[in-house]
Structure 1
Amino acid sequence: MAVAERIEPAERGATRIADRVVAKIAAQAAREALETAPEGGAPPHAAVTVHQDVARVRVSVELGYPGDLGGQCRAVRRQVAERVRALAGMEVPEVAVQIERLHTADAATASRGRIR
């Protein structure tokens, strides 16, 4: 009985993760980073460009105002980079966070008809 030769992993093939999958990971990570979503706000969405094992990510978010916008953006950048690295095995040298809209507490109250 012949023993099969061991084939090195690099010679067996390659795994390619689609950009849209990495974008879904990034969007979910952004949701995790934002502890609370503004009332009536859209969930974060992401666009990704992948070249070999490097992902450049752009995340669009809606945030509550007033609030620590810089702190929230930092948390999103950190969480997105960590999750994409952990789940997709890609380096993330750039996470651009774009604030699409700010939601004020007064606007949410006004839309519910609670103006005094």
Structure 2
Amino acid sequence: MARIAARVAGTALHRITGPQHPLTDLAAPGAHATAYNGTAQLALSVDLPYPTDITATCRQLQREVTEQVAHLTGLDISEVMVTVRRLVVAGQPGRVR
């Protein structure tokens, strides 16, 4: 399930951030999943392009991952926690502090 969530998150981020942000410098999303009695909790760690609306991007990412992972696994997703690992300036490698 974590692999599915990571793949879905990568696809969703590419779509959400659009072509204006080259994603070559962004690391692939990481994911951790916990399931119990047909309900799952997901934790994602992602890199985001900068500048971007971080709050809106994370909310949209949570919605899309919740819907897609629930559809693909048949589990109820109770929580998707998103951690932003780093912000990457569009077109420039390296970290932004």
Question: What's the TM-score bracket when you normalise by the shorter of the two chains?
Answer: 0.7 to 0.9
Structure showing greater relative contact order (alpha-carbon pairs closer than 8 Å, 6 or more residues apart): 2
Change (3 A) 1:51 1:31: same
- d(CA) in 1 for partners of 2:90 and 2:34? 35
Which is higher, the Rg of structure 1 or of structure 2? Answer: 1
* Cα root mean square deviation, aligned: 1.8
Tell me the TM-score normalized by structure 2: 0.81
Q: Deviations over 1:39-91 (max 9, x none)?
A: 32211110001102000000000001111111111121011111111111111
- d(CA) in 1 for partners of 2:64 and 2:34? 18
Aligned pairs, number:
88
Contact 1:25/1:83 (8 A) holds in 2? no
Percent identity of paired positions between Structure 1 and Structure 2: 38
- d(CA) in 1 for partners of 2:36 and 2:67? 18
| 1:105 CA displacement | 2.7
Structure having the higher strand fraction is 2
